[in-house]
């Protein structure tokens, strides 16, 4: 803080007070924000400074730190400056000591003595084995055996003693070498920060180191429980997070915030390079060799392949970064304190969201996923039954779930349970608040679809030029065996589309309209905008109006609900795909019919029918 009388200059301080702090021992992590692929750590230090210049060295910072992200904040009557980061130099290990020399010398002597004793015992046994009964006096045999036994016993005792002494000395040498090696440094905590702190007077200060680290991430996973008997909020979604970190630092009893944003560092907007065209010229190395180069057209110049020149690419090298921070910090309860991330669930527009894990968590640096439940959400959903009987007569059930919470759902695997039974695994896409997503709920055998054999009838027309007309009828039967009404079942089918001008494919029933058949876009759009010519879909785009078949049954071109522009609307039906939207009462049955005709000159071989 500035002095009241600017004419009074502070005294000069010649000595620099030095203070060394160990990151994990002398500080506490007060908040962690985990992103996809990295985390931001806030670590708080409290220490005393002396009047004048103080140099604070913090060792044991993670090697996985993004040094460009490192910053210092704090409070106290001082100014922070000259912040630098560097790798901690490895100190050479001592290889010998007085305690090591003596046992090593004794071990050498003991090893030699043991070898002599073992050789003496082998020589004694060899001598006894070489005695010949024909040349040995029987009266001396007892003395020889007695002397052998006494001598061998002494050698055995000596060998046993020497072996025990050798094992003891080896153990002493091993312990001493281990003591010389000292504790093995954690290679993952090999960074240090040097912070210059100029204090107006002696006292306590607090500083916070804030930095981003790699080797930390979180991924989303879900349990999706659906109660088919519940009308209001039938989906119970359990949002889970798996937190993994291998930064070298243990996160012990810390508040953790999970971020859905994906931070980018050094990522700029790409720029377009010139796009040029030229006549291809074959590189010289691809030609056959010439015996006389002077005969080659163009003189003696060789062709240079494109891209051979240019400067050599430079790779960035990791260097210690220096930072300069000037920060005034005031002592006392009346001074402003450091502001940290507010750990509350918050939605940040439609781009990112932040929310916290309830309570405190401990995540060791073990590269193992630690699961936590983020939230349990009760969500509204619309049930939809879908079948494509031409390919498979089974009926699939799915829930169209609306994310009415303030949470942004990240993409991740989900386990689906229907009425308490596990049904399937699915992948939940990234879903922002108020968005919807499809959740497959497996097959529903209580809704039965029968795809009848195709009915076909052929006729001819024309006097001079014969034309063959083939009429086709496809019938689809649906039976709802449930004791409740199904209000939303979709049946997909298709009619053939001609790719040849001599073949005409025409939908007869239902009589859906294909717009702009003659390429008149304006006429097609005008037809849609006329009363009765079209309706607006959920995206506000005019599309051909659906046709009502009977009570609770309508048919429409496939894609009409998702058409996002007028051009999309004009393309509807040109692929021949359509969809029935049906409501079937309990124990009810409905019959659908699809008719089309294909005409072509007689004896035309049509592929695809």
Per residue in 513-525, pLDDT (tens digit) is 877 555 555 555 6
Task: Note the pLDDT of residue 90.
Answer: 66
**19 burial class (0-12, 13-18, 19+ CB within 10 angstroms)?**
middle
Structural domain includes residue 356: no
d(C-alpha 596, C-alpha 514), whole Å: 14
Structural domain includes residue 404: no
**Taking all residues of the chain, what is their mean pLDDT, rounded to a whole number?**
80
pLDDT tens, 11-52? 554 588 999 999 999 999 999 999 988 999 999 999 999 988
d(C-alpha 66, C-alpha 263), whole Å: 12
Per-residue confidence band for 594, with pLDDT thresholds at 50, 70 and 90: very high
Task: Note the pLDDT of residue 449.
Answer: 96
Structural domain includes residue 204: no
**Pick from 347, 357, 356: which is nearest to 433 by CA?**
347
Task: Note the pLDDT of residue 493.
Answer: 95
Q: Are 331 and 203 in contact (CB under 8 A)?
A: yes
Looking at 160, 181, 202, the residue that finishes a domain is: 181
Say how many C-beta atoms besides its own lie within 10 A of residue 441's C-beta. Answer: 23
pLDDT tens, 124-180? 888 777 766 556 566 666 777 788 788 888 888 888 998 998 998 888 888 887 777
**Pick from 239, 241, 238: which is nearest to 226 by CA?**
238
Is the pLDDT at 553 greater than 90, yes or no?
yes
Bigger pLDDT: 358 vs 452: 452
Q: Are 19 and 348 in contact (CB under 8 A)?
A: no
d(C-alpha 442, C-alpha 496), whole Å: 30
Range of weakest confidence among 133-137, 330-334, 414-418, 572-576: 330-334
pLDDT tens, 494-505? 999 998 888 999
Q: Are 72 and 208 in contact (CB under 8 A)?
A: yes
Structural domain includes residue 238: no
| 139 three-class SS | helix
H/E stretch holding 11 reads: none
H/E stretch holding 288 reads: none
Is the pLDDT at 453 greater than 50, yes or no?
yes
Task: Note the pLDDT of residue 264.
Answer: 60
- Tokens coding 383: 């049930």
Q: How far is CA 7 from the centre of its chain?
A: 60
Number of domains the chain contains: 2
The sign of the dihedral angle between the CA atoms of 390, 392, 397, 398 is negative
Task: Note the pLDDT of residue 323.
Answer: 35
Task: Using the CB atoms, write b or e for 143-164: b if 16+ within 10 Å.
Answer: eeeeeeeeeeeebeebbeebee
Is the pLDDT at 296 greater than 70, yes or no?
no
Is the pLDDT at 218 greater than 90, yes or no?
yes
d(C-alpha 319, C-alpha 67), whole Å: 9
d(C-alpha 184, C-alpha 308), whole Å: 49
d(C-alpha 169, C-alpha 182), whole Å: 20
**Phi, psi (degrees; rounded to nearest 5) at 42:** -115, 115
Looking at 165, 181, 197, the residue that finishes a domain is: 181
Task: Note the pLDDT of residue 47.
Answer: 92
Task: Note the pLDDT of residue 351.
Answer: 56
DSSP category for residue 289: P
Is the pLDDT at 59 greater than 60, yes or no?
yes
pLDDT tens, 146-156? 887 888 888 88
Structural domain includes residue 344: no
- Tokens coding 27: 């500080």
For residue 433, what are the contacts with CB-CB under 8 A and spacing of at least 6?
Answer: 347, 350, 353, 403, 404, 405, 406, 407, 408
Q: Are 582 and 553 in contact (CB under 8 A)?
A: yes
Task: Note the pLDDT of residue 60.
Answer: 92
Compute and round to an integer the Cα radius of gyration of the chain.
43
Task: Using the CB atoms, write b or e for 278-296: b if 16+ within 10 Å.
Answer: eeeeeeeeeeeeeeeeeee
Tell me the mean pLDDT in the region 285-295: 42
Tell me the mean pLDDT in the region 200-220: 92
d(C-alpha 20, C-alpha 27), whole Å: 12
Tell me the mean pLDDT in the region 407-428: 90
- Tokens coding 259: 């971020």
Tell me the mean pLDDT in the region 391-416: 91
d(C-alpha 412, C-alpha 219), whole Å: 7
Task: Note the pLDDT of residue 172.
Answer: 85
Structural domain includes residue 2: no
Structural domain includes residue 544: yes
Taking CA atoms, 396 is separated from 159, 488, 535, in Å, by 83, 12, 28
- Tokens coding 282: 């074959």
Task: Using the CB atoms, write b or e for 226-241: b if 16+ within 10 Å.
Answer: beeeeeeebbbbbbbb
Q: Return the beta strands (E) in 286-326 as ranges.
A: 322-323
d(C-alpha 177, C-alpha 156), whole Å: 32
d(C-alpha 41, C-alpha 66), whole Å: 11
Is the pLDDT at 401 greater than 60, yes or no?
yes
Q: Are 70 and 32 in contact (CB under 8 A)?
A: no
Q: Are 204 and 48 in contact (CB under 8 A)?
A: yes
d(C-alpha 423, C-alpha 425), whole Å: 7
d(C-alpha 148, C-alpha 157), whole Å: 14
Domain that residue 534 falls in: 448-601
**341 burial class (0-12, 13-18, 19+ CB within 10 angstroms)?**
middle
For residue 362, what are the contacts with CB-CB under 8 A and spacing of at least 6?
Answer: 250, 251, 252, 253, 254
Structural domain includes residue 490: yes
For residue 143, what are the contacts with CB-CB under 8 A and spacing of at least 6?
Answer: none
Bigger pLDDT: 60 vs 183: 60
In degrees to the nearest 10, what's the CA dihedral of 519, 521, 524, 530? -160
d(C-alpha 11, C-alpha 53), whole Å: 12
Task: Note the pLDDT of residue 605.
Answer: 87
Task: Note the pLDDT of residue 414.
Answer: 93
Q: Are 573 and 512 in contact (CB under 8 A)?
A: yes
Task: Using the CB atoms, write b or e for 73-105: b if 16+ within 10 Å.
Answer: bbbbbbbbbbbbbeeeeeeeeeeeeeebeebee
Which H, E and C letters describe 464-520, residue by residue? CCCEEEEEEEEEEEEEECCCCCEEEEEEEEECCCCCCCCCEEEEEECCCCCCCCCCC
Task: Note the pLDDT of residue 462.
Answer: 74
Per-residue confidence band for 330, with pLDDT thresholds at 50, 70 and 90: very low
**Pick from 112, 108, 123: which is nearest to 155 by CA?**
123
The answer for 549, left when phi > 0, alpha when psi is -120 to 50, beta otherwise, is: alpha
Q: Global pTM?
A: 0.61
Bigger pLDDT: 513 vs 481: 481
Is the pLDDT at 230 greater than 90, yes or no?
no
- Tokens coding 42: 């806030």
Looking at 148, 164, 181, the residue that finishes a domain is: 181
Is the pLDDT at 300 greater than 80, yes or no?
no
Q: How far is CA 588 from the centre of its chain?
A: 47
Cis peptide bond upstream of 11, omega within 30:
no
pLDDT tens, 360-395? 889 999 999 998 888 889 999 999 999 999 999 999
């Amino acid at each position: 803080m500035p002095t009241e009388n600017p004419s009074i200059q502070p005294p000069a301080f010649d000595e620099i007070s030095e203070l060394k702090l160990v990151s994990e021992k002398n500080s506490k992590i007060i908040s962690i924000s985990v992103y996809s692929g990295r985390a931001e750590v806030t670590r708080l230090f409290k220490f005393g400074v002396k009047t004048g210049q103080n140099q604070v060295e913090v060792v044991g910072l993670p090697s996985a730190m993004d040094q460009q992200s490192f910053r210092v904040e704090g409070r106290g009557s001082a100014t922070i400056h000259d912040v630098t980061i560097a790798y901690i130099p490895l100190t050479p290990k001592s290889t010998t000591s007085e305690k090591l020399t003596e046992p090593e010398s004794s071990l050498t002597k003991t090893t030699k003595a043991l070898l002599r004793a073992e050789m003496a015992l082998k020589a004694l046994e060899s001598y006894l084995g070489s005695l010949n009964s024909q040349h040995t006096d029987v009266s001396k045999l007892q003395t020889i055996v007695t002397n052998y036994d006494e001598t061998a016993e002494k050698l055995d005792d000596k060998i046993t003693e020497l072996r025990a002494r050798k094992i003891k000395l080896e153990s002493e040498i091993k312990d001493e070498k281990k003591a010389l090696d000292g504790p093995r440094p954690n290679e993952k905590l090999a960074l240090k920060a040097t912070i210059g702190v100029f204090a107006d007077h002696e006292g306590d200060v607090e500083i916070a180191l804030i930095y981003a680290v790699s080797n930390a991430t979180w991924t989303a996973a879900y349990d999706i429980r659906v109660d088919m008997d519940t009308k209001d909020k039938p989906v119970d979604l359990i949002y889970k997070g798996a937190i993994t970190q291998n930064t070298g630092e243990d996160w012990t009893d810390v508040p953790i915030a999970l971020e859905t944003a994906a931070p980018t560092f050094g990522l700029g907007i790409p720029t377009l390079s010139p796009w040029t065209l030229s006549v291809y010229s074959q590189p010289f190395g691809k030609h056959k060799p010439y015996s006389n180069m002077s005969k080659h057209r163009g003189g003696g110049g060789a062709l240079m392949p494109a891209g051979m020149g240019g400067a050599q690419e430079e790779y960035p090298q990791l260097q210690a970064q220096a930072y300069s921070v000037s920060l005034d910090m005031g002592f006392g309860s009346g001074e402003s304190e450091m502001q940290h991330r507010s750990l509350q669930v918050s939605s940040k527009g439609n781009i990112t969201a932040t929310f916290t894990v309830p309570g405190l968590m401990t995540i060791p640096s073990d590269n193992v996923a630690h699961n936590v439940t983020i939230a349990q959400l009760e969500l509204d959903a619309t049930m939809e039954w879908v079948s494509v009987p031409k390919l498979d007569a089974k009926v699939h059930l799915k829930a169209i779930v609306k994310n009415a919470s303030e949470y942004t759902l990240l993409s991740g695997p989900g386990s689906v349970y229907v009425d308490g039974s596990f049904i399937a695994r699915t992948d939940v896409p990234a879903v922002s608040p108020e968005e919807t997503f499809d959740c497959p709920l497996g097959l529903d055998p209580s809704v039965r679809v029968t795809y009848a054999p195709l009915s076909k009838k052929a006729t001819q027309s024309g006097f001079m030029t014969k034309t063959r007309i083939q009429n086709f009828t496809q019938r689809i039967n649906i039976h709802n065996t449930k004791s409740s009404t199904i209000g939303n079942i979709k049946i997909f089918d298709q009619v053939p589309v001609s790719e040849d001008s001599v073949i005409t494919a025409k939908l007869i029933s239902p009589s859906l309209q294909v717009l702009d058949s003659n390429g008149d876009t304006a006429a097609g759009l005008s037809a849609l905008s006329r009363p009765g010519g079209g309706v607006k879909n959920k995206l506000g785009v005019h599309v051909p109006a659906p046709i009502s078949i009977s009570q609770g049954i309508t048919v429409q071109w496939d894609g009409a609900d998702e058409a996002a522009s007028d051009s999309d609307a004009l393309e509807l039906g040109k692929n021949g795909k359509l969809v029935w939207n049906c409501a079937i009462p309990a124990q009810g049955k409905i019959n659908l019919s699809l008719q089309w005709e294909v005409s072509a000159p007689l004896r035309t071989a049509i592929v695809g029918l």
